[in-house]
Structure 1
Amino acid sequence: MTEVLTDERIAGVLRPFVRAASPVLNALREADPVRLRGREIEALGDGAVNKLLRQLDSMQLPGSSTWDSMSVDERCDWWTLRVGRFLALAAGLPRFGGAITSRLPLRNALGITGQSLVLCAIAGEHGVTDPAVKVRLIAEVLLDREISPELAAGTAADDEQAQELTEDLDASKRKHGKATVKAVVRTVWRMARALWEIDSELDKRPQGRLHHQMLGNLPVVGVIGGYLGERSALKRIGRKGAEWLGRNGLRR
């Protein structure tokens, strides 16, 4: 018999997750792969390296002048399409074995982890910093649950659990002075394992279209169906997240 999860149980899982999401997103948002911050691009001359830097500065990357000039909606699209692409691929990989591996809780846990991170990123771009609001956003958009503000608020215990989820990020910053890609990946896996606690609810999350699911049930090429399905779902989630923020007077 499938366990019926209460709102309190779901909120208890989402609260530390949302708190852990902030440093993960900060690591991605603050990434400056070509060290554009602090450079005066136009003053660097016309050498080949500097021409390349100017081209990179015109790309939609955090730290570039293009990023600084982007609208809120454009930044939300960036999170959904660019960062979501990596997370969607990770969620699609369990479908490599077709119908058998697609049933593994790993796929749903990774999928909802990516979707939740994108929702948190979108909320952040709209100026939302309250973790309780993000808990309610994720619960309603992904799980069709209306969590009360009281349940979403959380306690000091949530901060302790969040620190456990992000200990790889903290260790990386102490050792390397920044969050490495490996540390971010390990943290995402920890977060996915934490969401296994509500596995019976994870099928409610938005998923791919019927043709994506049919392709996902085939061996080997199932990974393509899983990838395309997660990408499709993330686009819908981005729209639903913005609509939820608008309904609650939080959209910029």
Structure 2
Amino acid sequence: MAEAITDQHVAVILRVFVRRCDPMLVRLRDDGEPVEVDPEDLLAGSSIGPADPDVDRSIVDKVKSVVASIKRPGMKGWSQLPIDERVDWWISRVGRFTSLLASVTGLAGVWGDRLPLQDMLGSASQGLLLCAIASERGVDDIGVKVRLLGSVLFDRDIDMETARGKGDAAADEEMVAKLTDGDDAPVEEVEEPVKGKRFGVKAGFKWLWRQARILFSITGELEKRPQGRFYHKAVGMLPVVGMAGDYLGERSALKRAAKRGSKWLTQQGIQ
């Protein structure tokens, strides 16, 4: 009979997981995109200026309207947006980044049968999103984030003292290495943005896989995570269209994780 997985075991895994999410969230927020664009500055730098009498002001106003409607972290007014709108942005951003990667496990052959790859990658995806949602609500306390992930992903009510641990990141890393039989690679910095170059799929999968490997020692808990609907699983078992079913299932599961996470934070009095 397998030994029961304790809250202490889960907490140390999640502390390492949460710490490694921070640089990725920064990368996903930025991704080489401009923080703010002023249409007047664009016109001033062109062959016509904003004060040019031949310029149709309605065009300038339309450009301003379009630019103003594009909201993303770092832009003016982002923090004033309703929390639901900010969460929706993250669901879309993280979903595009991770759901496809988590759904390709059907191509893994024998490894897909031997390891719970989709649950590992899907849990890593949902954990990243939950960290983003917590950050949008101003949560910096690693203990709160660990409790959040423990509740939503594993249906565990981890007490705050256990969740925070002793605050020794190096000891947590060492413990994770032991729990994973030394299989977990040391943390690597997320690649720095390169001007004009977007974050690639290869680098994204490498990071997600490293996060998934952290969760390997608690694989018995991973099936508790929010899942897609039953019909997504049914489609996922079919040849040819199976990957599409898995992808839609992961997208659905990500939204359910976000909903549960937002509800948990609200219940803790975190708005």
Closer/same/farther in 2, CA of residues 91 and 109 from structure 1, 3 Å limit? same
**CA deviations over 1:72-124 (Å, ceiling 9, x no partner):** 22111111133223211111111347999377322111000000010110011
Which residue number corresponds to residue 208 of structure 1? 228
Aligned-residue identity in percent? 43
Which residue number corresponds to residue 25 of structure 1? 25
Closer/same/farther in 2, CA of residues 158 and 109 from structure 1, 3 Å limit? farther
Q: Which runs of 5+ in 1 are unaligned?
A: none
Closer/same/farther in 2, CA of residues 137 and 76 from structure 1, 3 Å limit? same
**CA deviations over 1:196-218 (Å, ceiling 9, x no partner):** 11111101111011111111122
- 8 Å contact kept, 2:228–2:250: yes
- 2:88 is aligned with 1:77: yes
Letter in 2 for 1:26: V
Q: Among 209, 215, 223, which residue is 1:195 paired with?
A: 215
Post-superposition shift, 1:53?
A: 8.0
Q: Among 157, 164, 168, which residue is 1:156 paired with?
A: 168
Instruction: Give the distance between the partners of 1:6 and 1:160, measured in 2 at CA.
Output: 15
Q: Among 71, 77, 97, which residue is 1:86 paired with?
A: 97
- Structure 1 counterpart SS, 2:223: helix
Tell me whether 106-115 or 88-97 shows the greater mean CA deviation: 88-97
Instruction: Give the distance between the partners of 1:11 and 1:66, measured in 2 at CA.
Output: 35
Post-superposition shift, 1:157?
A: 3.4
- Structure 2 counterpart SS, 1:139: helix
Q: Which runs of 5+ in 2 are unaligned?
A: 48-58, 177-184
Post-superposition shift, 1:61?
A: 3.5
Closer/same/farther in 2, CA of residues 25 and 159 from structure 1, 3 Å limit? farther
Report 1:57-76 matches (<5 A).
58-65=69-76, 67=78, 70-76=81-87
- Structure 2 counterpart SS, 1:167: coil
Instruction: Give the distance between the partners of 1:2 and 1:216, measured in 2 at CA.
Output: 30
- Structure 1 counterpart SS, 2:269: coil
Which residue number corresponds to residue 50 of structure 2? none
When normalised by structure 2's length, the TM-score is 0.77
Instruction: Give the distance between the partners of 1:53 and 1:99, measured in 2 at CA.
Output: 52
Closer/same/farther in 2, CA of residues 73 and 158 from structure 1, 3 Å limit? farther
- 8 Å contact kept, 2:15–2:172: no
- Structure 2 counterpart SS, 1:245: helix
Which residue number corresponds to residue 12 of structure 2? 12
- Structure 2 counterpart SS, 1:204: coil
- Structure 2 counterpart SS, 1:239: helix
Question: How many residues are matched?
Answer: 244
Letter in 2 for 1:134: K
- 8 Å contact kept, 1:166–1:187: no
Tell me whether 113-122 or 229-238 shows the greater mean CA deviation: 229-238
- 2:238 is aligned with 1:240: no
Post-superposition shift, 1:63?
A: 4.5
Which residue number corresponds to residue 128 of structure 2? 117
Report 1:97-176 matches (<5 A).
101=112, 104-154=115-165, 155-158=167-170, 161=173, 166-169=187-190, 172-173=191-192
- Structure 2 counterpart SS, 1:145: coil
Closer/same/farther in 2, CA of residues 106 and 127 from structure 1, 3 Å limit? same
- 8 Å contact kept, 1:94–1:104: no
Q: Please identify which structure carries the higher helix content.
A: 1
When normalised by structure 1's length, the TM-score is 0.82
Letter in 1 for 2:169: A
Which residue number corresponds to residue 38 of structure 2? 40
